[in-house]
């Protein structure tokens, strides 16, 4: 049987197909993940550095101002005596940390009062006397609290450091500040020294509360990040001048939410020199001392008012008949004396609150206390100005 050419072609093609397939190269298997990793390791090398763009004028100014101000900013650690439970030795116990800055060439440091306070379970019990001050160069020196204000939450420290190392911060004014102008905050947030944050003035003329039921007026509000540890640090304008001291944040969780407050520098410039000169803003001495709140609570269970512990006879309190604790011959307490419940009609919650009220409203010629005495509340008037002596009649 004769095959047609077309049929023959088909037969030849079919017969050759197995041999051609055998000659074709096999398809490579897909690389494994490990093989890919090893192959790409060979390309490990430093990345080329892209050309740096020039810093803007604003960036250059911020860098310059931070470098200039850094040497004026210090780290403050409040120290109180404590007992080592293992050895029963008296030891130093850190109570609080924050920021401060060099005020003048005589080694005075300004910070917040709440940094140097001792508290327990949220209740302020008193102030420390000794502090440690760490300068920008990392060296730590002893310091002493030489003045403080309850009403303004300001404290002044004396640093026992070489005066050449103390660089005073330039002082500006808060009188002509405007909402929207740039500000810089320098501090030690969460113990991280010399941190810079930047923002703007968000508002002026704010009122912020203190721990002593008083209000600081004309406070500066800023969105520059202010966190725990920034307290007591400087708020600077774009020229690097001090315009406020960072004091408080508005936050329900204790972390910054972009609302910080600073005491204006004009207030500092009025208050700080007086604290350096006379320790307190209120020079008037009424002539009585009161027990520490913790002692009054533990000893007598007193939760309200101030327990009078001592009265000097030749003072307004002594002349008004304020009664102190009754003591035995060995100094033991026999009985309570007077408990001061209110000053000028306003309840007294703590020593600090009373001092704050006296700072904000200097006492007049006489003041009135509501006093709890032998179970009865009475009013006692203290004459703060000595009575004028009668002049002899002319003959």
pLDDT in tens, 236-261: 999 999 999 998 877 554 555 678 89
**Average pLDDT by stretches of 10, the chain with 395 residues:** 49 48 58 88 92 94 94 88 51 69 96 78 57 91 91 93 94 94 89 86 89 81 85 93 89 62 93 92 81 78 87 91 84 82 88 82 83 92 68 43
Is 43 annotated as catalytic? Answer: no
pLDDT in tens, 356-394: 888 877 777 888 999 999 889 999 999 887 654 444 444
Q: Which of 153, 237, 338, 370 is labelled catalytic?
A: 153
Cα–Cα distance measured from residue 334 to residue 168, given in angstroms and rounded to the nearest whole number: 52
Is 153 annotated as catalytic? Answer: yes
The reported pTM is: 0.72
Q: Which of 231, 237, 256, 370 is labelled catalytic?
A: 231
Residue 90 burial by CB count (10 A; 0-12/13-18/19+): exposed, middle or buried?
exposed
- Percent of the chain at pLDDT above 90? 45
Cα–Cα distance measured from residue 125 to residue 249, given in angstroms and rounded to the nearest whole number: 23
Residues in a beta bridge with 220: 262
Beta-strand runs (E) in 210-361: 215-222, 234-237, 242-249, 260-264, 288-290, 306-311, 326-327, 333-335, 339-343, 346-347
Closest CA to 343 of 392, 269, 280, 282: 282
Class of domain 182-278: mainly beta
CATH architecture of 66-165: Beta Barrel (2.40)
Is 113 annotated as catalytic? Answer: no
Cite the residue boundaries of each domain of the chain with CATH code 2.30.42.10. 288-383
Q: Which of 108, 114, 211, 370 is labelled catalytic?
A: 114
Cite the residue boundaries of each domain of the chain with CATH code 2.40.10.10. 66-165, 182-278
Residues in a beta bridge with 209: 215
Class of domain 288-383: mainly beta
């Amino acid at each position: 049987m004769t095959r047609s050419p077309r049929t023959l072609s088909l037969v030849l093609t079919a017969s050759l197909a197995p041999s051609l397939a055998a000659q074709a190269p096999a398809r490579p298997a897909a690389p494994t993940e490990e093989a890919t990793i090893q192959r790409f390791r060979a390309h490990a090398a430093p990345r080329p550095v892209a050309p740096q763009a020039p810093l803007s004028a604003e960036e250059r100014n911020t860098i310059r101002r931070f470098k200039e101000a850094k040497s004026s900013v210090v780290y403050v650690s409040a120290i109180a005596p404590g007992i080592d439970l293992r050895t029963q030795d008296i030891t130093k116990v850190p109570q609080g940390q924050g920021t401060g800055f060099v005020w003048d060439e005589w080694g005075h440091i300004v910070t917040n009062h709440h940094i140097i306070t001792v508290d327990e379970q949220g209740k302020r019990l008193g102030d420390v006397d000794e502090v440690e001050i760490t300068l920008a160069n990392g060296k730590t020196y002893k310091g002493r609290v030489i003045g403080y204000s309850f009403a303004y939450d300001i404290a002044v420290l004396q640093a026992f450091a070489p005066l050449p190392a103390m660089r005073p911060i330039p002082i500006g004014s808060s009188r002509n500040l405007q909402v929207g102008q740039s500000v810089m905050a320098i501090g030690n947030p969460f113990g991280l020294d010399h941190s810079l944050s930047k923002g703007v003035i968000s508002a002026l003329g704010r009122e912020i509360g203190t721990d002593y039921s008083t209000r600081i007026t004309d406070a500066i509000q800023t969105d520059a990040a202010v966190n725990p540890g920034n307290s007591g640090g400087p708020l600077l304008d774009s020229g690097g001048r001090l315009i406020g001291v960072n004091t408080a944040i508005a936050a329900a969780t204790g972390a910054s939410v972009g609302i910080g407050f600073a005491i204006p520098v004009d207030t500092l410039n009025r208050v700080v020199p007086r604290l350096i000169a006379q320790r307190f803003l209120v020079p008037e001495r009424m002539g009585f001392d009161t027990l520490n709140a913790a002692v009054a609570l533990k000893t007598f269970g007193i939760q309200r008012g101030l327990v009078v512990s001592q009265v000097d006879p030749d003072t307004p309190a002594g002349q008004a008949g304020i009664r102190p604790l009754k003591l035995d011959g060995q100094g033991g307490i026999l009985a309570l004396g007077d408990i001061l419940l209110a000053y000028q009609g306003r309840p007294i919650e703590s020593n600090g609150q009373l001092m704050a009220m006296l700072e904000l409203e200097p006492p007049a010629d006489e003041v009135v206390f509501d006093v709890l005495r032998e179970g009865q509340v009475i009013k006692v008037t203290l004459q703060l100005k000595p009575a004028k002596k009668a002049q002899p009649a002319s003959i």
